[in-house]
Structure 1
Amino acid sequence: MVRNNTVYILLTHSGSLLSKCINMYTKEPYTHVSIALDKNLKELYSFGRINPYNPIFGGFVKEDIVNGTYSRFPETRCAFYSLSLNDIQYKRLKRELDKFKANGDKYGYNLLGLFGIIINIPIERKYNYFCSQFVATLLNNSGIYLFNKPPALVTPKDFRKCRKLKLLYEGRLRSYYNRLEVYYQIN
């Protein structure tokens, strides 16, 4: 039996120094991409700050919208999308994600890759990713191809424009979280 499984793509703009720099260059509303296995964003992954208070060191992170980096930026704007997968794609994606989780310490942030986007040349570095490159790579390695370009050239704009993604919510991230809290208090 082929079930429909869902993963979620979260686009954000926090207002951090790096996100402001990216926003000034791209003029895009969102500057960061994460992937979630649940609508509640408890299983939310990306490449970004390892420590919410230290923007210098980045790598593979399990993001926390309550106590992590987002707690430092309460005005974070977001767009939240769903992507339906079949059983095989979903199992592959979980397996690929498990590889990142098992080896999280060996990964770093591909800051150089951001400059590759500017000059339209993919800059890939072993064990190093930037956020949208990570999500695109994870999807590609799972047999899910959303873009006709190398993952090292994929940007948050590509996710925002992707017709295979279904927009579920757009607004402040904190407001989305507050809606979840109310929902769980009622049910």
Structure 2
Amino acid sequence: MNQEYVYIMLSDTGTLFTNVIKTYTKAPYNHASLSFDSELKEMYSFGRKKPTNPLHGGFVKEDIFTGTYSKYPNTSCVIYRLQVTEREKQKMKRILEVFIKNNHKFLYNILGVIGVSLKEPVEFSNSYFCSQFVADILFRSGIKLWDKLPAMVTPDDFRKSIAFELLYEGKLFEYHPLKKVMINNHM
């Protein structure tokens, strides 16, 4: 039986918005994304719809080379992998299809971020923040890593969980699988 994995990337772009969040959280990373491949080609989260506007957010398929990360080449990150069953991975992809098909209906849950700081979950049916989204996808696929609601999960909870295997920590554009993609795309 093949081993299946999903990948979690935590990142820090170093923007004013992320620095404000870091001042409060004291955590090294403040954004979480979910990917189905180690090259991070198929990566999803809740974040900026447009790289230059942190206030216009929602569900996004993140593209490292053309999206928000392309504007912040000094982004630091940590990449983990989580072993899952084929069934769990397929469930995640089916759940994700709902987000992809209804992309325009989802909003960024800024009140949820505030709720985490107040230790009070704030949930709306079509509204998520990044780590809430990733935790919810895992939870709805049968993977329960924390004894709290997805609306209370922070990027640092992923970093502190022993369920994840550390693959890389450093500058995003120095991550070896990405460097191979960059070389192959320029040849």
TM range (shorter): over 0.9
SS in 1 for 2:104: helix
Query: Compared with structure 1, are the counterparts of its residues 85 and 184 closer, same or farther at alpha carbon in structure 2 (3 Å cutoff)?
Result: farther
- Aligned counterparts, 1:1-187, within 5 A: 2-176=1-175, 178-181=178-181
Confirm or deny: 8 A CA contact 2:39 2:178 kept in the other structure: no
Partner Cα separation in structure 2 for residue 28 and residue 73 of structure 1: 19
Aligned-partner residue type, residue 107 of structure 2? G
Partner Cα separation in structure 2 for residue 63 and residue 87 of structure 1: 23
Query: Compared with structure 1, are the counterparts of its residues 73 and 87 closer, same or farther at alpha carbon in structure 2 (3 Å cutoff)?
Result: same
Confirm or deny: 8 A CA contact 2:18 2:30 kept in the other structure: yes
The offset of 1:184, in angstroms, is: 5.3
RMSD: 1.5
Aligned-partner residue type, residue 169 of structure 2? E
Aligned-partner residue type, residue 147 of structure 2? N
Aligned residues: 184
Query: Which sections of structure 2, spanning at least 5 residues, go unmatched?
Result: none
Confirm or deny: 8 A CA contact 2:7 2:36 kept in the other structure: yes
Query: Which sections of structure 1, spanning at least 5 residues, go unmatched?
Result: none
Q: Percent identity?
A: 47
Deviates more, 1:175-184 or 1:141-150: 175-184
Could you tell me the TM-score, scaled by structure 1's length?
0.94
Aligned-partner residue type, residue 36 of structure 2? L
The offset of 1:182, in angstroms, is: 7.0
Partner Cα separation in structure 1 for residue 20 and residue 46 of structure 2: 17
Runs of at least 4 residues off by over 4 Å: 182-185
Query: Compared with structure 1, are the counterparts of its residues 182 and 128 closer, same or farther at alpha carbon in structure 2 (3 Å cutoff)?
Result: closer
